Amino acid sequence: MTTADTRQIEAGPDDAGERLDRWIAAQWPDLSRSRCKALIEAGALQLGDAAVTDASAKVREGGVYTLVTPPLEPAVPQPENIPLDILHEDDDLIVINKPAGLTVHPGAGAWTGTLVHALLYHCKDSLSGIGGVERPGIVHRIDKHTSGVLVVAKNDLAHRHLSKQFAKHTVERAYLAFTRGAPRPREGSVATRIARSTRDRLKMAVLDWDSANGKEAITHYHVQEIYGQEAKAPIGTPLAALVECRLETGRTHQIRVHMEHLGHALIGDRVYGPQRTSQLKGIPDLPQIKALGRQALHASVLGFVHPSTREEMVFETPLPDDLQSLHAALKTL
């Protein structure tokens, strides 16, 4: 397939109530159920004029469903000349300051234009193969819309050594997050288990520490600055805060989930924050929030032991321009 393929079908009375991805796969046998699920979650399916992204949703009788399958991409990512902000590079590893909006590795909805494609162009054949053809050299990742520092392995020995450090939780990882309100106490730890949400497969959910499901997730946080005063609230109830979060574990969306769990979702986070507004409670619109277009989260510090020299290395990156603008605006509240 070299071009996008558009398919359309109307659900009959006997189809109503079927699970959506299972029903779509039954209509077009050339698409596996897992493929249909990935397409749906990537926004490729529409019911009328609205996108449907929940693969477990029920089929509606009389609904006209349109599925757009994108062209098949090569199984092996191809090098792409995408500029990189390189903080350090040697024969074993490369440390990148990733901009917001850049996906780390290929996946549903992002088969090109990822960090992997950029690394393949820059590093040529010198990337670890442990991650497979789709994730060469990738030891850890940060969300597409999170900016900041990450390390990539250029050979298998470096990959194994770095992976062990992440597994043993000896890697130093600090993030700067701008939150709605400020957690109390101002310094503390969040220890829960985290698993995929059963209500929304695009989200993660907090489980009790003694739950048999999910994975252990521990975040240590410290409120560095607070901004403004919430109207009609007790004195000392700020509108927003700058919070440093240090990860003991590294679960998907961990900081975003844990801050929401504390009642202080990240500014700009439309997944875990308020769904209807990007603004703060009780104040006029801040254009810096509206312009953000992402969660206000930056991976500011990464520290590890070099796999060959055994030198302790620490890399720190400043807030990018969009978060610096947000920071300046919040300080005026």
- The residues annotated with a catalytic role in the active site are 143
SS (H, E, C) 192-211: EEEEECCCCCCCEEEECCCC
Q: Which residues contact 323 (CB under 8 A, 6 or more apart)?
A: 147, 176, 178, 296, 298
Q: Which of 258, 155, 160, 153 is nearest to 214 (CA)?
A: 258
Q: State the distance between the two ends of the chain, measured CA to CA, in whole angstroms.
A: 54
Three-state DSSP state, 47: strand
Q: Which of 265, 322, 299 is nearest to 140 (CA)?
A: 299
Q: Which residues contact 181 (CB under 8 A, 6 or more apart)?
A: 230, 237, 238, 239, 240, 241, 263, 264, 281
Give the torsion through C-alpha atoms of 108, 110, 112, 113, to 10 deg. -160
Place of tokens 């560095």: 224
Q: What is the H or E stretch that residue 7 is in?
A: strand 5-10
Give Cα 73 distance to the centre of its chain. 23
Tokens of 134: 């789709």
d(C-alpha 166, C-alpha 238), whole Å: 35
SS (H, E, C) 142-188: CCCCCEEEEEEECCHHHHHHHHHHHHCCCCEEEEEEEEECCCCCCEE
d(C-alpha 192, C-alpha 260), whole Å: 13
